[in-house]
Structure 1
Amino acid sequence: MRQVLFGLCAALIVGAAGPAMAQSVRVDRITVHSQALDGNLEGNTAERSVTVYLPPDYDSNSQKRYPVLYALHGYSINNDIWSKEIKAPETIDSAYAAGVKGMIVVLPNSQTRHNGSMYSSSATTGDFEGFIATDLVAYIDSHYRTLAQRESRGLAGHSMGGYGTVRIGMKHPEVFSALYAMSPCCLSARGAPSPEEGLKLEALKTPEEAQALGFFVRATLAVSSAWSPNPNKPPFYLDLPTKDGVAQPDVLARWAANAPLSMVHQYIPNMRRYTAIAFDVGDRDGLKTDTEALSAALTTYKVANSFELYDGDHVSGVADRFQNHVLPFFAKHLAFVPVGQ
């Protein structure tokens, strides 16, 4: 009798576990070569690591095609750390279990020698706009069962990734149809560092020395590589924002040209092409004012968008936001069938 009860319990456990296990996403870790990054002066690899999360039914339903969400990481991290920050795949599994439609979620690595590409196009860092909007999309479309149409592609990101979402989104509405910027950085024109920090950067002799710099000082080097490249200035191939500790207006003007609050006025026709645009930011995040200002600028031009202020700082609740806000947003606004059907 005891053996019968044991066998019955075991069968029930296996039966209950089977469907739960079947609902887990599949994780692919791949490498994508980007022609857009070939030959960059900084020596950043054109072989980019990418994490791909496939819906639970991807392998069991071989005829089905899926929309794709491209999710961009922030400064000083890569796709592996980004996965941990959003607690993937657990958050993706939980979103699907709650009824969110399954999609392919793609996390590319855009880390550079100085820890961040700014998702910009630069002879020094490489063309990371092209990597995301052209090379990566083409690879995913050719290697996975995607709905290869703009209506079925979304772009999202946090912090520097939020900046990349806005920047690339402004320029490539022919590729993406919905945008979600989480606590986007760098929206307004960036000023020069302090004279002390400027002198510290000017004193660097080799890129290897830069690895010992603090977070914000090194970020200035990353910004310089992306927004004020100079192929005639080895070994860094960039123009710094100071000289002898004094701010250089011409360099700062080049930086300002990359600030979305300045850029947005040139790209309103492009932004009008999006099905949906969303911003969120914590109420204790120093990026709150700029994020709200960008949303307001779009609203001034009657470009539909949503802005949400939530209880938190720059890094709190990112996984919760991704699971309960970002994924449902794209499930609502991306096309899950070929356009025209």
Structure 2
Amino acid sequence: MKKIVFSLFLLSISFAGIAQGNLERREFLAASLQNNEAGEDPLRQLSIYLPQGYENGNHRYPVIYVLHGYGGTDTVMMSVWIDFKRLLDEAIKTGKMRPMIVVAPNSNTRMQGSFYTNSEGSGNWADYIGKDVVQYMDENFRTIPDRASRGLCGHSMGGNGALKVGMLFADTFSAVYSLSPAVLNWHGDFSLSNPAFKRISQLNDEEAILQGLAESGQTGEFNGFFAAVFTAMARVYSPNISNKELKADFPVTYLDDSVVYNSEVIRKWEAEFPYYMIDDYLPQLRSLTALKIDWGRNEDFSHIPYTSLEFSKKLESYRIHHFAEEYIGDHGNMLDGFEGRIFTELLPFFNTYLNGQTPSN
């Protein structure tokens, strides 16, 4: 009996020694989203990981900003889908990374995705990340308020956003990691020939499109999913508030069964694709301390492996140093857990490339 009690005592000491951070949620009014014409709520939420010892010290920390994917929120990214707290606690405990603050902003919209793009119609979503969220964190937490101590990452739509915001705000973030970035350029399932454009023309109604998105989540059918994605993209890439039904123009429309291509809208969309942005942001890309892209070989979305490699090759043609890696996995099965990409690749990446201080004992 004494041996059992002693063993439990040792076990309690062991657990007490494990670094345990805290996860909290904050809310603030984002200046860049106020007075938008699409009715998007400027009151935004942040899920924030604070490392062990934050409450009792005066040490300042580097910050990793995490951008969620389409249909997600800050809590889905940090707690529901990926158990960031568990991964961060273990990474800090085992020395994979020094203690850092990690924050996921809520960038969800009425159509379930902002695509981290400044829009005349629905608000400036890139500025929301690069200005509002960073300012809030620096004013309310003990961050190291310096570019060299800020990292930016995201998955899928968030991976797209990490590349876009990383280019637009290279003077704010120094290291960027993009996981399975979506819609970098046209290809495969993300193309002008996708039947979801016809579905949008036929429905021409926000609620009906969102209902189709909900049903696609139950059936795994992509047509309803892409109809909602394309509508969300149109809201920020080619807004048109005079279109009372969907508040946007589309690159493809249908009159009965006849397809109509709108070259002006196509140009607007392509101007927002990170692949084409490279040409205009070469100095910013070269100024980054580190840039990494990775994607799964067995992706659920056929455009992602092709356009990720295409993006990397274009960077390489401009001699922009970066890391690019294809791994065996699909859109999300190799992200969480202690063998997943976030724990094995992303957190050590930021530990290497972000400047920070070591807390004093």
TM-score in terms of structure 1 length = 0.92
Q: Within 1, Cα distance between the matches of 2:177 and 2:243?
A: 37
Tell me if the contact between 1:66 and 1:145 (Cα under 8 Å) persists in the aligned partners: yes
Q: How far has the Cα of 1:157 moved from its partner?
A: 0.4
- For these two proteins, the number of residue pairs brought into alignment is 332
Partner of 2:166: 169
Tell me if the contact between 1:30 and 1:51 (Cα under 8 Å) persists in the aligned partners: yes
Amino acid across the alignment from 2:112: N
Instruction: Tell me if 1:129 matches 2:119.
Output: no
RMSD: 1.8
Q: How far has the Cα of 1:200 moved from its partner?
A: 2.9
Which residue of 63, 72, 75 maps to 2:67? 72
Q: SS state of the match for residue 95, structure 1?
A: helix
Tell me if the contact between 2:209 and 2:227 (Cα under 8 Å) persists in the aligned partners: no
Instruction: Tell me if 1:316 matches 2:336.
Output: no
Partner of 1:112: 109
Instruction: Tell me if 1:242 matches 2:252.
Output: yes
Q: Within 2, Cα distance between the matches of 1:328 and 1:221?
A: 36
Tell me if the contact between 1:123 and 1:231 (Cα under 8 Å) persists in the aligned partners: no
Partner of 1:202: 201
Change (3 A) 1:300 1:197: closer
Q: Within 1, Cα distance between the matches of 2:65 and 2:318?
A: 27
* Structure 1 gap segments, 5+ residues each: none
Tell me if the contact between 1:86 and 1:322 (Cα under 8 Å) persists in the aligned partners: no
Q: How far has the Cα of 1:13 moved from its partner?
A: 3.6
Tell me if the contact between 2:297 and 2:330 (Cα under 8 Å) persists in the aligned partners: yes
Partner of 1:295: 312
Tell me if the contact between 1:192 and 1:252 (Cα under 8 Å) persists in the aligned partners: no
Larger CA deviation: 9-18 vs 170-179: 9-18
Change (3 A) 1:314 1:5: closer
Change (3 A) 1:29 1:197: same
Tell me if the contact between 2:196 and 2:226 (Cα under 8 Å) persists in the aligned partners: no
Partner of 1:281: 295
Partner of 2:33: 37
Tell me if the contact between 1:41 and 1:237 (Cα under 8 Å) persists in the aligned partners: no
Partner of 1:230: 240
Structure 1 vs Structure 2: percent identity of aligned residues?
31
Change (3 A) 1:17 1:40: same
Partner of 1:212: 211
Query: Pairwise mapping of residues 94-105 of structure 1 onto structure 2 (< 5 A)?
Result: 94-99=90-95, 100-105=97-102
Tell me if the contact between 1:284 and 1:311 (Cα under 8 Å) persists in the aligned partners: yes
Q: Within 2, Cα distance between the matches of 1:188 and 1:199?
A: 20
Instruction: Tell me if 1:147 matches 2:144.
Output: yes
Q: Within 2, Cα distance between the matches of 1:79 and 1:316?
A: 19
Amino acid across the alignment from 1:44: E
Q: How far has the Cα of 1:193 moved from its partner?
A: 4.7
Q: Within 2, Cα distance between the matches of 1:289 and 1:141?
A: 38
Q: SS state of the match for residue 50, structure 1?
A: strand
Partner of 1:192: 192
Q: How far has the Cα of 1:260 moved from its partner?
A: 1.4
Amino acid across the alignment from 1:143: N
Tell me if the contact between 2:64 and 2:151 (Cα under 8 Å) persists in the aligned partners: yes
Q: Within 2, Cα distance between the matches of 1:33 and 1:44?
A: 12
Tell me if the contact between 2:111 and 2:231 (Cα under 8 Å) persists in the aligned partners: yes
Q: How far has the Cα of 1:235 moved from its partner?
A: 3.9
Q: How far has the Cα of 1:199 moved from its partner?
A: 4.0
Q: Within 1, Cα distance between the matches of 2:83 and 2:5?
A: 36
Q: SS state of the match for residue 312, structure 1?
A: coil
Q: How far has the Cα of 1:248 moved from its partner?
A: 1.8
Q: How far has the Cα of 1:125 moved from its partner?
A: 2.3
Larger CA deviation: 35-44 vs 147-156: 35-44
Instruction: Tell me if 1:54 matches 2:50.
Output: yes
Change (3 A) 1:198 1:295: closer
Q: Within 2, Cα distance between the matches of 1:79 and 1:215?
A: 20
Change (3 A) 1:11 1:314: closer
TM-score in terms of structure 2 length = 0.87
* Structure 2 gap segments, 5+ residues each: 213-223
Q: Within 1, Cα distance between the matches of 2:260 and 2:204?
A: 19
Q: Within 2, Cα distance between the matches of 1:281 and 1:314?
A: 8
